[in-house]
């Protein structure tokens, strides 16, 4: 919908039609755990724009309509009205494929599709999970230690529900944090009241008519509800069946203008690849920030193509992300140490432990911060933060340094704001960057 909105801003004469198989469009999926936890009191609070609001801007939105086929030669799509159970075809001059991602439900887990095993993707999912939670659920098993897993675990504990979190990784957030930082997050998860089990690969969900827990081998936990948070993959079946090329990541391959390999067909968001600004590689980065930005670029370039004006490239992504568990904030950007080596860099790490404010300030909390740099060039490659309130958003300083190709030495001298309620006179970003520069 960011593509539709931007195309409309730039060209008032376009006929823009959007099909969505769910009930809602233009909403914050990232807010779903907080709705389940009761911090957000209504699903409507998570909706940015309704179909009616889009209609006021002359964007025609059809909810509960699923596109089931794309015919590139005839330049048309087949769409099913799920309410009326009828189908029709509609032609297009330009097609925007923004099918997003799908939660992973690995087939190797026996019983993964039993009732009582739920995932989070759409607002409908969030509503269904909340109804189940409200229905006298006392113990929940969360499978997966990614962002969704720990955010759901936090929300449920805050509601007084017993939570067991199981992940196959050495620590939670294993794909995004290096081991030392991940171990700190494990400690925070347990301190918040979550029973955490790492290094366990679930093979079986128990139950006959409904899931009652996990079993098989030496692992056995009972639960009233099981939440799947095992990650997500790009939703590309429709594109693949139509012959729209996929990239090495499994997502739809696009160029810097969000064009696919098919004339007049565009893609953006979780289903599409982007260029990693550090490595230059095509990757899939399923984040809301990236989805909104790439959607805006696609809309800009659809309008520009029709007008015959210059296209605008998407400048890339570095995977900056932030979350929390209780009072502990977790943030990361750029590459991990291992990823840096795999990309051909020679990584060095500058690590620092301090406090979120001046050490003597009454609200000072521990903060750990690391800066990863390339040894031959000094270029900043990545950064990670785990700390108390106020720690997480410092990641934006490191992200800005990576974005602009700064060295660790340059970052160590950036003129950052100082006052005792906010940091020490040498910010922890300075200290970690200096240590990386010294290496």
Backbone angles phi, psi at 324, to 5 degrees: -155, 160
d(CA 161, CA 223): 11
d(CA 409, CA 280): 23
d(CA 391, CA 422): 9
Which positions are catalytic? 30
Residues shown for the chain: 439
Q: What single-letter DSSP state applies at residue 288? A: H
Among the listed residues 154, 167, 126, 140, the one whose alpha carbon sits nearest the alpha carbon of residue 324: 154
- Cβ neighbours of residue 323 closer than 8 Å, sequence gap 6 or more: 147, 150, 151, 329, 330, 331
* Residue entry with tokens 């982007």: 274
Q: What single-letter DSSP state applies at residue 11? A: -
Backbone angles phi, psi at 217, to 5 degrees: 55, -140
- b (16+ CB within 10 A) / e for 134-165: eeebebbbbbbbbbbbbbbbbbbbbeebbbbb
Order of strands across the sheet that contains 204-207: 204-207, 211-215, 221-222
Tokens describing residue 408: 């660790």
Strand segments (E) across 237-391: 265-267, 274-275, 282-283, 321-325, 328-334, 347-355, 366-374, 380-387
Q: What residues are paired with 139 via a beta bridge? A: 162
d(CA 373, CA 345): 9
d(CA 202, CA 222): 13
Q: To 5 degrees, how large is the angle CA 388–CA 437–CA 374?
A: 95
8 Å CB contact between 179 and 185:
no
Tokens describing residue 425: 């006179």
């Amino acid at each position: 919908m960011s593509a539709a909105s931007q195309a409309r801003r730039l060209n008032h004469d376009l006929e823009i039609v959007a099909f969505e198989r769910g009930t809602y469009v233009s909403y914050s999926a990232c807010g779903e755990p907080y709705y389940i936890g009761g911090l957000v009191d209504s699903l409507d609070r998570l909706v940015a724009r309704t179909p009616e609001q889009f209609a006021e801007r002359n964007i025609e939105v059809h909810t509960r309509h699923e596109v089931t086929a794309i015919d590139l030669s005839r330049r048309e799509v087949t769409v099913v009205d799920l309410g009326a159970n009828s189908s029709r075809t509609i032609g297009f001059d330009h097609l925007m494929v923004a099918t997003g991602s799908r939660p992973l439900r690995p087939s190797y887990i026996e019983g993964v599709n039993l009732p009582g095993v739920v995932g989070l993707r759409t607002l409908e999912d969030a509503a269904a999970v909340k109804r189940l939670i409200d229905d006298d659920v006392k113990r929940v098993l969360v499978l997966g230690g990614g962002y969704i897993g720990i955010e759901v675990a936090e929300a449920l504990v805050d509601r007084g529900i017993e939570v067991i979190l199981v992940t196959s990784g050495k620590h939670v957030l294993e794909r995004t944090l290096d081991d030392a930082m991940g171990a700190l997050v494990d400690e925070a998860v347990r301190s918040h009241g979550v029973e955490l089990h790492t290094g366990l690969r679930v093979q079986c969900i128990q139950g006959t008519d409904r899931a009652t827990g996990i079993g098989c081998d030496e692992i056995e936990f009972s639960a009233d509800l099981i939440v799947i948070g095992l990650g997500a993959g790009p939703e590309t079946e429709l594109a693949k069946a139509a012959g729209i090329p996929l990239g090495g990541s499994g997502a739809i391959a696009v160029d810097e203008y969000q064009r696919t390999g098919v004339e007049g067909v565009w893609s953006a968001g979780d289903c599409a690849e982007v260029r990693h600004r550090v490595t230059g590689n095509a990757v899939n980065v399923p984040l809301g920030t990236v989805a909104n930005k790439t959607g805006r670029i696609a809309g800009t370039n659809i309008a520009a193509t029709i007008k015959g004006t210059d296209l605008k490239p998407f400048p890339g992504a570095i995977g900056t992300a932030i979350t929390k568990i209780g009072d502990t904030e977790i943030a990361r950007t750029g590459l991990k140490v291992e990823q840096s080596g795999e990309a051909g860099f020679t990584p060095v790490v500058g690590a620092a432990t301090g406090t979120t404010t001046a050490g003597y300030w009454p609200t000072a909390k521990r903060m750990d911060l690391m800066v990863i740099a390339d040894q031959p060039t000094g270029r900043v490659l990545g950064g990670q933060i785990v700390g108390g309130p106020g720690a997480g958003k410092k990641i934006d300083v490191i992200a800005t340094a990576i974005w602009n190709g700064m060295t660790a030495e340059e970052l160590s001298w950036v003129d950052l704001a100082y006052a005792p309620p906010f940091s020490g006179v040498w910010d922890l970003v300075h200290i970690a960057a200096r240590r990386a520069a010294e290496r």
